Structure 1
């Protein structure tokens, strides 16, 4: 079997990590795997198995209008089709809406089974009128679609030409140790240099979706009561300046560290004491899954999809309602103050390694391959 993955890039995102994890798993088992991206290879963040073949189209870039956007996407379709003709994969898999649509257009008339994959609950991230229309029309031409939750699967069936029996729910996998790359951060040194005894850790892009603004507000309410704790937020994004200003306004700039994106996030999970996820929306958040797999007790905002499928309330962490700042502060305070409860949750958290093991998730994908 030859598998071809198509995705926008292999930068430091959740869909990218899933792509690399699955590709590396199958490549290690002798499957012929090729990954194609719209970008070149210069943005690659995660290390690939030596047997994975890599093709970067280097056709990314921002379009300055609708006509230029159509022209750019036409070039991407032509380039992808040429690769499909050359590679003739047994199955082609796309991840994220734009890639799903481009794969449909590039593979038309070729007879190659195609699988699309959504990585965020669709209504939470509107695509704009043109791409929404393209998704609605093109998804019916995919042989199968992978959603991460039942709610997302039902939405896709109601809002596209895809039939519900072609939409399969498959969670994200986790594999340990996590793939490591540079830059590296020694969280223990961060703890020592800033005078922390305990670390509250968060990971994600610095954008509105991840809700770090409400995390900083919540931490500021606890800072005086919890002098041993510091907050570390790993990630980069357009909200950095706003979040730094928010820390200063709350008087916690010395207690909050924003070191940017790091390649050794697994070591950071191991060095932290508590994990927190405050996203306004998600698909199936890898960071929460990874934190639990490292035995890190967690607090997560129960956004519409994702957290409740991963974290077991009062078993390995605490779920708090969306847009309830008091509940978030209360959950964080409860775990910050209770060493034994953190230990108890951490012992159960590692069960995520089996619940979402890459071998188990890969078998779900392989069953889908057989069906298509």
Structure 2
């Protein structure tokens, strides 16, 4: 596939740093699929203050592409907006294909960094981390690299890398390549502890920066009208869950909890997102006899208007990093329930002060927790008030200042 170069209208990718007035930060990720880390990526890029952002995508595709500001220049190595996933799967089975692709991606990143005068490379998600680090080590040692970690490296591995060989490779990457970064930003203290204790990454290399919330935008989007087909009947309570339909999100647990709740009350569930588990979840809903009470809403660029009209947001994951959806619901005045999984859930919810936390993998605990929120008006009011206050601490301006200060310190340390 030929290289696809895409830039914003009028953008001069080779403009030197001095002409821009700010250091150039090259933000690198695989694509702009609709996910939490990708939304954080978009927020940092679109709202940059002290840095001049340039976006580099290994693949030009993803539901969040239209969200990228037209004023931000970007390049994509390949355009895969029209490539069938089946064809990609076949190509990935070709012996040596992944290593050949890595070599081409590293050469491409070196060229982009030189053309844009990048002062720092900031990578998001694993494929981009590997490309950034190999490029730094082999081709571009003078440009610092900052990794942005949005997953619990130990506990997410069995879900993200089901093959034993892939998990072994990822362990090698975290142990041997991650320490070669100039800085590692993680979104929760628990992720830092895991990298240090389980992967041997030096603690002084890691800094915690919580995910930002663009609260003004979230609330404006939450107030938008909703099509009638997404509305629950009058008098029916609605639980909403937002995220990829994959096993680690624990939606099977949520469906079982819904079945328990519907034995005594009229309640519906809306699942917002797409993923490989949708077919299995639809079968499970039918087996449990709750298919008529479950709406598979698919992927939405604006999930906030659906969250805003729910009575409670449920996060029943088996592992998380720092789930932005909890903060988004709190910003919209919707009480939240979350499982006590590894990652930043407790940190996000202040150990349960801003949201109800229940045991992981415990269907009965999930059902009881949802019942409490739905039936206890005083508890709901307490959670809504505490949630509003907690969400405010993640507001974008302050998080952005913290984030850009980390990148600025990295650049400064390389020049002194």
Query: TM-score, normalising length from structure 1?
Result: 0.91
SS of corresponding position for 1:57 = strand
Range with bigger deviation, 323-332 or 245-254? 323-332
1:214 is matched with 253
The answer to whether structure 1 residue 131 and structure 2 residue 131 are counterparts is: no
Query: 2:271, 2:310 → 1: CA distance?
Result: 11
Aligned partner of 2:211 in structure 1 is 172
Aligned mates of 2:107, 2:79 — CA distance in 1 = 11
State which of 102, 105, 110 in structure 2 corresponds to 1:81: 110
Taking only aligned residues, the RMSD between alpha carbons, in angstroms, comes to: 2.3
For 2:192, the equivalent position in structure 1 comes to 153
Partner-residue secondary structure (3-state), 2:71: coil
Q: Which runs of 5+ in 1 are unaligned?
A: none
Query: Secondary structure of the equivalent of 2:291?
Result: coil
Give, in whole Å, the separation in 2 of the partners of 1:351 and 1:218: 29
Q: Residue 194 of structure 2 aligns to a residue in which SS?
A: helix
C-alpha distance 295-180 of structure 1, shift in aligned 2 (>3 A): closer
Q: Structure 1 residues 240 and 195 mapped into 2: Cα distance closer, same or farther (>3 Å)?
A: farther
Residue 35 (structure 2) pairs with residue 13 (structure 1): yes
Q: 1:242 aligns with which of 267, 280, 283?
A: 280
The match for 2:331 is 293
1:223-242 alpha-carbon deviations (Å, 9 max, x no partner): 13121x21101000111111
Q: 1:350 aligns with which of 388, 400, 405?
A: 388
For 1:48, the equivalent position in structure 2 comes to 68
Contact 2:330–2:336, Cα closer than 8 Å, also in 1? yes
Q: Deviations over 1:179-213 (max 9, x none)?
A: 999xx982664234x56632111001111010000
**Is 1:191 paired with 2:231?**
yes
TM-score between the two structures when normalised by the length of structure 2: 0.82
Provide the residue aligned with 2:269 in structure 1: 231
CA contact (8 A) 2:33 2:62 kept: no
In structure 1, what is the Cα distance between the partners aligned to 2:257 and 2:72?
43
Deviation of the 1:279 alpha carbon: 0.3
How much does 1:12 deviate?
A: 0.1
**What is the distance in 1 between the residues matched to 2:220 and 2:243?**
16
Partner of 1:92: 121
Structure 2: how far apart are the matches of 1:43 and 1:57? Answer: 18
2:313 aligned counterpart, secondary structure: strand
Deviations 1:67-122 (A, max 9, x none): 11111111111111111111121211001222112101223344111101211100
**1:120 partner SS:** coil
* Shift of residue 178, structure 1, vs aligned partner: 3.1
Work out the CA distance in 1 between the residues paired with 2:380 and 2:66. Answer: 31
Alignment of 1:116 onto 2:114: no
Match of 1:267 in 2: 305
